[in-house]
Structure 1
Amino acid sequence: MRSNRVLANSRLNKPVKKKWISQDAAWAFLLLIPLFIGILLIYSSTIFGFVMSFTNWDIVRKAEWVGIENYRTLAEDELVWKAMRNTLYFLIIAIPAKLIIGLALAVLLNQKLKGVNFFRLTYFFPTACSVVAIALVWGYLYGVDGFLNTLLQGLGLSKVYWMDEHNAMNSIAIMSLWGGVGYIALLFLAGLQNVPPEYYEASRVDGANRFQQFRMITLPLLTPTTFFILITQMITVFQMFGENYLMPGPLNSTLSIVQYIFTEAFQGFRMGYASALSYILILIIFIITIVQFKLQKKWVNYDL
């Protein structure tokens, strides 16, 4: 009897071995495995693409190492520079237009009016539409005998060839403006609603009018939102593909850099050259983003 009691006490006093990982942590790691696999695939494909940019590979035959020949070729490729000029056009024309119109819409939608939620939904609706659907609709509008030309002829005006070499970029810019300005207006609207009302009350006491309030309070406090929109819109412009691919202008007048990458990779099967173009695009986006982050200290205000 005594020996059994001693044995029981020894079992109670025996130190319990701790598990090297808890059950909750094990489940967490298990659930994170798909994410880790995805990240591994992204990084491995990034490295593979960079190595491939130094080769001549058409998918079928074995890759041939050519060094920096692809980068030398793209520096002399006229289509690359044409695509860059088209991108620059969007940066200079389309983005400022989106910012100005989006801010104006946000100011209007920020008013306490009856039915304002309906208009907010209406302006945001094109953002939720597919690029393919938008291109089909605007392709009909821009047709030689489409809605816009029918309207112009009804007003006694002559037809406009919206998608010819001279007007195609402007037409795509208008379509892009219609499709994306609602999203920008929504972001500006969120920024406007985060401005403390006390600032406006204090300015009214000092005798400031609405324009002075907008210039001295609203615009400075919207600079973080403006900075975010600028960064994302610049990246979006450099990655434009759907609009240009579905509504191409003659003589590569609407060619974008991503469209050219797609053409070289999956129509010309020049995978090495397409990879070189891709990494030049990544480098340009990286440099522009870094410059923007450096410059934000001079004009972005998080408080008055």
Structure 2
Amino acid sequence: MLGGKFDFGVMPILCLMVVVSLGPKGTFSEKAAREWSDKKVRLESSSEDVVKAVEEGETGVLPFENSLEGTVLRTVDLLAAHDILIKGEVVIEIDHCLLGYSGSEIREVVSHSQALRQCREYLTHELNNIDVRAVSSTAKAVELTKSEEELAAVAPREAANEYGLDILDEGIQDVKDNLTRFLVLGLEDCPPSGNDKTTLLFYVKDRPGSLYDSLGVFAERDINLTKLESRPSREKLGDYFFILDFEGHRKDKKFKKALVELKNHVRDLKILGSYPKATNPQNKK
């Protein structure tokens, strides 16, 4: 079952002095954390460590979905299993570069598996005779490349300065409009801002039409859904929950009534938070 209960209350706001995200230095997660806040950023080695810090009262930032590769499933599973809330989101452009040493003969390209997938066409057609290897993060790829001249890393531009490497090529992702949405996590969500989004998880009841009835709650009230995806519960084969985003704040009257009615159609419901919608960086251009 989901790790939280149906509750419209808000937990007390804590004084948060640090933003915690995924390291090592030079990752897109670090960049998202710094865009969210000018507070000190502490980098952890795993998503689980970030969630643990959030449970202890700090603010955490984790990747949630990419416009090319879809949802980051590990983040979804952690949201389902832990009593934490989404208090914000950050959307950043993912501009992959090829980093290494100018003049060196490249024999292998290393990066995080998702970054490699996002640059599949470039790696196939521009570097078609070079081996590709997945590592734990883009920053780990840069660390390896720094110590081996025959390696090149797919990584953010910022990592070149951080690790003293050259930018061999830039903008190598398959699609130029490549965005990743990061969630800002805490023990409280935000009051209504007038431009909000709500995220929730739910199990439908085991009967025909249960998903149709659940989604009808939103359609009847003209509530716009911006994300709907199923995910295995990891309890038994064929058992799934749904993760859903809708435009609006759970404490506004219309949305609050919708969620009360939704409870009648589902087996379990967990509200993950209401928070201001992020600005699409492409709209700033």
TM superposition score category, shorter chain reference: under 0.3
Indicate the structure with greater strand content: 2
Superposition TM-score, scaled by structure 1 size: 0.23
Work out which of the two has the higher radius of gyration on C-alpha atoms and give 1 or 2: 1
TM-score (norm 2): 0.24
Greater fraction helix: 1
